[in-house]
Amino acid sequence: MSRIDAKFAELKAAGKKAFVAYVMAGDPDFDTSLEVVRGMPAAGVDIIELGLPFTDPMADGETIQLAGQRALKAGMTLKRTLKLAREFRKDDDTTPIVLMGYYNPIHNHGVPQFLIDAKEAGIDGLIVVDLPPEEDEELCIPAQAAGLNFIRLATPTTDDKRLPKVLQNTSGFVYYVSITGITGAAAAEAGDVAPEVARIKAQTDLPVIVGFGIRTPETSRAIASVADGAVVGSAIVSKLAAGDNPTKVLEFVKGLADGAHSA
């Protein structure tokens, strides 16, 4: 059982929904980023999504793009991202970490070596947004064999014909993108999300977590109430972009986590 599976089993036993938080590794610098990540479990974060900086993040809006640029400017790389995870693991061996990003840095690192290094660093799952199911032999299947969950995105445009393909080799959880478009583009609406979550859950036993467009504790609660949990990224990253210190950022995160946990 992976840390992700164990976390969902724990939450289910407690009758709680999951709160997942995203930050870009190395934004605005390595030490600040590590401090925020280290503080997340105490702020109520159940699963940490660690963004892998990349020069051409096609699925992301301006907030995440700029975070990636800040991280790259501060010298962040795939190796340093894994180092950040290793530093976190010195004090926390239970909170799941999902590495989220694009395939190019992984390909450049070399898939076999990346999987060894990611596992050694304490990474539990991968979300690679530009690798469709047709490319599963490239990374998804090797990752599963290495003991890493491969988490797939489903979107409002993933119809009933496409959905089984998307779910085929997915593990850990399904990440449902609540809006059509890039990160940070619009607000999520629970009324729109609920039937889509039900449609996905009719075809899988995996938890369905909803992200994109969640910026307030109220929305976090509303979305978590119709799914297995909520993901917040851009709203947290915005706080770092505004210059908020880790304490302020984590106070904001705690409000979002409390929202999801009260669903």
Catalytic option among 5, 27, 46, 49:
49
> What is the C-alpha separation between 263 and 252, in angstroms, rounded?
18
Q: Is position 49 annotated as part of the catalytic site?
A: yes
The strand order across the sheet containing 174-177 reads 149-150, 125-128, 97-101, 47-51, 18-24, 229-232, 208-211, 174-177, 152-154
Catalytic option among 60, 117, 124, 228:
60
> What is the C-alpha separation between 215 and 18, in angstroms, rounded?
16
In terms of C-beta density within 10 A (0-12 exposed, 13-18 middle, 19 or more buried), how is residue 180 classed? exposed
> What is the C-alpha separation between 13 and 203, in angstroms, rounded?
22
Active site (catalytic) residues: 49, 60
